[in-house]
Structure 1
Amino acid sequence: MSDLQPSVLVVEDEPAQREVLVYNLESEGFRVIKAADGTEALLLADEEKPDIVLLDWMLPGTSGIEVCRQIKMKPALRMTPVIMISARTEEVDKVRGLETGADDYVTKPYSVLELLARVKTQLRRSRPASVGERLNFEDILLDSETHKVFRGQNELKLGPTEFRLLSTFMEKPGRVWSREQLLDRVWGRDIYVDTRTVDVHIGRLRKALSRHGGDDPIRTVRGAGYALG
């Protein structure tokens, strides 16, 4: 697991099961957010924008199916993978879960190792750098396992913050990131940093990327933020 710590929202009302999941996910390097019911889950999903959601079907109050439906309706969360966990083993239930927008469906009792493998499979699609994948954009190659960046034949020297910024951009080329979104993703939610700090590090990243020639691949979108390409 790379140091771009992915966040998992675990929604499970059974405390013992929830703690088993939390323990195993944290051991694998995930940042875990916990919710015990559907209402709390939707609140935390909005606030935290997790990278993936593990969602129990049977919850008090708002059901897992309804939580999944609402998550997938929100533009900011629509692409967030949801793995539905359920004691319902009938095919019709699995189909219903997937039709509601779940990206995967795991039945109880499940193997924690298998569940972790499924989490990583989903993250490989949505946040490849966080699970050690190599990312390519035009002539730029970022290897999140070895922490190396190349442009053409040249290896670039990047500081840790610039590396995380570039990873974020390369996971979603073309996407416009606001300064606030970059602060959340790169610096973390709990750290207070001035938004101007983002501009300083973008400047450093641009300099590093163009050190051996080549166009500046980072685009400033006036009033919105920054994008790659």
Structure 2
Amino acid sequence: MYLTHSFMSDEKKQSSQPPLILIVEDHDDSLLLLSYALELLGCRFICQNDSSSTILVAKEYQPDLILLDILLPGMNGLEVVRHLKHESLTCHIPVIAVTALAGREQEERILAAGFDDYLSKPYMLEDLEAIICRLLNEKFEPYSAVEVCKES
């Protein structure tokens, strides 16, 4: 697990602290991709590659949002989200399933388990940004990665 802060302009740092997002993903490439995406969006994040301490990390750091893979070794994402939603310190934290499990039936099962939203791999950066914006409302003022790319 590691904690990282993204690059932000001085004026944005002064106006508000960017949201803290906990990423739980066991595949290094997917973890790296999510961390790059969150950095582009101006978020702070904590990365974990296993689910064993997710509940403890969520209690300690109180992230604004959790991006949670479903197919994890040990405790899978469905079990983790059930525990998170039953803990008084973490039940309010929005949790997004980020998974390769596609299809309407899997999506319904995932949402019924307690996830607040669902993002199917592979995903577009704009889809990730839209979900984060919707769930974090006023806590999140993203840099539009698309606009940054157009400006270059």
Asked if Structure 1 and Structure 2 have the same fold, meaning a TM-score greater than 0.5 normalized by the shorter chain, the answer is yes
Structure 2: distance between partners of 1:117 and 1:27: 14
Aligned residues between the structures: 128
RMSD: 1.4
Larger-Rg structure: 1
Measured against aligned partners, the alpha-carbon deviations of 1:180-218 in whole angstroms (never above 9, x if no partner) come to: xxxxxxxxxxxxxxxxxxxxxxxxxxxxxxxxxxxxxxx
| Percent identity of paired positions between Structure 1 and Structure 2 | 36
* Residue in 2 that maps onto 1:131: 140
Look up the equivalent residue of 1:96 and give its one-letter code.
R
Runs of 4 or more, structure 1, over 3 Å off, are none
Question: In the alignment, which residue of structure 2 is the partner of 1:187?
Answer: none
Segments of 5+ residues of structure 2 without an aligned counterpart are: 1-11, 142-152
The DSSP-based 3-state class of the residue aligned with 1:5 is coil
Residues 9 and 34 in structure 1, CA contact (< 8 A), matched pair in contact too: yes
Aligned mates of 2:124, 2:55 — CA distance in 1? 26
1:11 maps onto 2:24 in alignment: yes
Length-normalised TM-score, structure 1: 0.53
CA distance in 2, matches of 1:120, 1:41: 23
1:61 aligned onto 2:81:
no
Q: Is the 8 A contact 1:21 1:112 kept in 2?
A: no
5+ long unaligned stretches in structure 1? 133-229
Displacement after TM superposition at 1:100 (Å): 1.1
Match of 1:21 among 30, 34, 49: 34
Deviation at 1:28, TM superposition (A): 1.8
Larger relative contact order (Cα-Cα within 8 Å, sequence gap ≥ 6): 2
Deviation readout 1:92-149 (Å, 9 max, x if unpaired)? 211111111101011111112211221111001xxx2x225xxxxxxxxxxxxxxxxx
